[in-house]
Chains A and B, each alone.
Chain A
Amino acid sequence: MELTFYLAAAVAIIATILVVTQYNLIHALLYLVVSFMAIAVVFFTLGAPFMAALEIIIYAGAIVVLIIFVIMMLNLTHEDVQHEKEWLKPSVWIGPAVLSLILLAELAYIFMASETSAVATQPVEAKAVGMALFGPYILGVELSGMLLMAGIVGAYHLGRQKKKIVHRFLERTEA
């Protein structure tokens, strides 16, 4: 079980680094699917099989496919990949990367300094999650419903292409 965890963790880290370093959006999204699946395996080894299924269905299924559809609507060409290459120079990324890695090293040091405590053996059943979700956390479920509704309305409102009607005398000539 530990071997599965460490292998999946390594796959997740490598795939995520590849997502970050890609120039082509579609390639990055395919690596993102691999990363999400590896994290789903990590969830499974940590005793959360229902969350592993949700991770694959919602993240790797719904969200990534949504982003791919939007990329298809944008009609990106090879020039955009070239733009991406120009934007991602070492002088751009080296500063934030070094500073963030210092923070990560501090975090790792804190984790390694404390005494280790093993993750429990038995999994948390989906039934217990459902009982907690619709028991003490029912308010959160209702708020999530409102959030999703606001998301739907907001996405519809923002995504609508408004037809601009300008009187021909008021039209500005393009400079």
Chain B
Amino acid sequence: MNTIPMEQGLLLAGILFIIGLISVLIRRNIIFMLISVEIMLNAAGLAFIVAGARWIQPEGQVMFIFIITMAAAEVSVGLALILQLYHNLKTLDSDAANVMNG
């Protein structure tokens, strides 16, 4: 018998989202910031899955597929940007990229 309250699933998603948010706020390493954004996207997808399971509708899982697609596209472009940043500035410090030198 499956008696998980929906609020606890949503609370798990909220906790994971807040952990990712704290990490993206406190980190200066740009790869860590990208990882934290992945954690936050995953938590948002978890909230959709919980809601889809609550009302037995497939829409939650459909939204999760869209989120996963967006995360994959985002991480590929983000990693290409990180490679360019490291190639130009020789550092992963996001504060070093505060000047746009063409």
Contacts and interface: CB of A to CB of B under 8 A. Distances in A.
B54 A119 contact: yes
Contacts of A159: 79-80, 83-84
Interface of B: 1-12, 14-16, 18-23, 25-29, 31-32, 34-36, 38-39, 42, 46, 49-50, 52-62, 64-66, 68-77, 79-84, 86-87, 92-93
B6 A88 contact: no
Given A119-B6, A155-B76, A39 B46 contact: yes
Given A93-B26, A148-B73, A154-B80, A116 B5 contact: yes
B29 A87 contact: yes
B14 A107 contact: yes
Contacts of B77: 151, 154-155, 158
Contacts of B70: 144, 147
Given A19-B39, A32-B39, A55-B42, 18 more contacts: A5-B8, A12-B12, A48-B52, A63-B72, A70-B79, A83-B93, A87-B28, A88-B26, A101-B22, A118-B4, A118-B5, A119-B50, A124-B60, A128-B58, A148-B72, A151-B73, A155-B79, A158-B77
Interface string A25-49: 1001100100110010011011110
Nearest to A89: B26
Smallest CB-CB A-B distances: 3 pairs: A151-B73, A159-B80, A158-B80
B10 A111 contact: yes
A84 B31 CA distance: 11
Contacts of B1: 1, 121
23 contacts: A2-B2, A16-B16, A16-B19, A29-B35, A47-B53, A48-B53, A48-B64, A67-B31, A67-B34, A74-B92, A87-B28, A96-B25, A100-B21, A101-B18, A111-B7, A117-B54, A118-B3, A119-B50, A120-B54, A124-B56, A132-B62, A148-B73, A155-B80
A54 interface: yes
Contacts of B27: 87-88
Most buried by A among B16, B53, B71: B53
B90 to A, nearest CB: 10
Given A118-B3, A151-B72, A51 B22 contact: no
